[in-house]
């Protein structure tokens, strides 16, 4: 489930880093093409985890070794390379932009399942509050700016956040993606309880110099019309720290 939460954060904007239906299985070869004339179906993104075999910066092809198999992924020219660092609640400061995957309890409180801290370069990505998966689910993604941190201990506490959304509901609660097409716009706030053991991950920007043979990698890829796998972002090992999810 935690893989799904991270993927949801990374796909949190309508179209890019707010892709919220993450697959959990390792991708191998694309499925057989649909019969000619059949209506095109939406193909979900796939998470591929393994180690780097080779990277060709000219052809933009990345070979990922998964056991005894090699999977080839083509990287976009502007693909984001991300690394992970672990954090504690005490490391989060007012003004940080975070993505919080949380469960909404019967008492209305949001209890974090995972927190991702974005770099300034990704500030505002997927801003808002919206369901993860089924719209009736109690799983919510909140991408917001931290207003206050109350640490009970170094690794747990409460985060008060504020965000821009699409529109307020009939109860006056702001929700949706801030940049949704035709959105009226609203502002909201939330309080997120972070229990001990909840993963807090800082997403750091890296570069293609990290794409070396043997490095652990986690890629979100989408099959293209010709069956090849395409990716616009990937998380790679740095300084011995492997992709956490």
Asked if residues 47 and 6 have their Cβ atoms less than 8 Å apart, the reply is no
Residue 41: the pLDDT is 54
pLDDT of 74 over the 70 cut: yes
Residue linked to tokens 């796998």? 229
* Mean pLDDT to the nearest integer, 107-114: 92
Render 29-65 in DSSP notation, one character per residue: SPPPPPPTTPPP-PPPPEEEEEEEEEEETTTTEEEEE
* Mean pLDDT to the nearest integer, 67-82: 95
Whole-number average pLDDT of the chain: 84
pLDDT of 37 over the 80 cut: no
pTM of the model: 0.75
* Mean pLDDT to the nearest integer, 62-89: 95
Cα–Cα distance, 204 to 140 (Å, whole number): 23
For 156-178, how does the pLDDT look when each residue is reduced to its tens digit (9 = 90+)? 999 999 999 999 999 899 999 99
Measured CA to CA in angstroms, residue 204 lies from 38, 120, 179, 208, 237 at distances of: 42, 10, 23, 13, 11
Select from 183, 115, 182 the least CA-distant residue to 149: 115
- What is the DSSP pairing of strand 69-86 with strand 229-236? parallel
For 39-64, how does the pLDDT look when each residue is reduced to its tens digit (9 = 90+)? 445 568 889 999 999 999 999 999 99
**In sequence order, what are the residues at sequence separation of 6 or more whose Cβ sits closer than 8 angstroms to the Cβ of residue 106?**
none
Cα–Cα distance, 186 to 168 (Å, whole number): 6
* Percent of the residues in the chain that have a pLDDT greater than 90, as a whole number: 67
Residue 153: the pLDDT is 85
Residue 42: the pLDDT is 59
pLDDT of 25 over the 60 cut: no
Domains of the chain: 2-27+45-84+203-236 (2.40.50.140), 85-201 (no CATH)
Phi-psi region of 10 (alpha: psi -120 to 50; beta: other; left: phi over 0): alpha
């Amino acid at each position: 489930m935690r893989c799904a939460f991270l993927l949801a954060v990374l796909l949190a904007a309508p179209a890019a880093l707010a892709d919220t239906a993450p697959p959990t299985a390792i991708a191998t070869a694309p499925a057989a093409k649909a019969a000619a004339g059949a209506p095109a179906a939406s193909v979900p993104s796939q998470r591929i985890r393994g180690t780097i075999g080779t990277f060709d910066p000219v052809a933009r092809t990345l070979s990922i070794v998964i056991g005894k198999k090699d999977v080839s992924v083509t990287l976009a020219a502007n693909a984001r390379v991300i690394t992970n660092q672990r954090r504690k609640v005490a490391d989060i400061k007012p003004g940080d932009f975070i993505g919080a995957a949380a469960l909404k309890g019967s008492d209305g409180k949001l209890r974090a399942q995972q927190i991702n801290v974005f770099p300034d370069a990704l500030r505002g990505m997927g801003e808002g509050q919206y369901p993860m998966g089924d719209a009736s689910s109690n799983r919510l993604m909140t991408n917001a700016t931290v207003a206050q941190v109350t640490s009970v201990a170094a690794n747990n506490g409460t985060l008060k956040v504020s965000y821009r959304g699409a529109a307020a509901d009939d109860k006056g609660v702001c929700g949706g993606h801030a940049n949704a097409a035709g959105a009226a716009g609203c502002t909201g706030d939330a309080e997120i309880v972070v229990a001990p053991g909840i993963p807090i991950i800082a997403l750091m920007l890296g570069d293609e110099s990290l794409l070396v043979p043997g490095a652990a990698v986690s890629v979100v890829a989408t099959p293209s019309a010709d069956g090849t796998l395409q990716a616009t972002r990937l998380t790679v090992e740095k300084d011995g720290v492997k992709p956490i999810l």
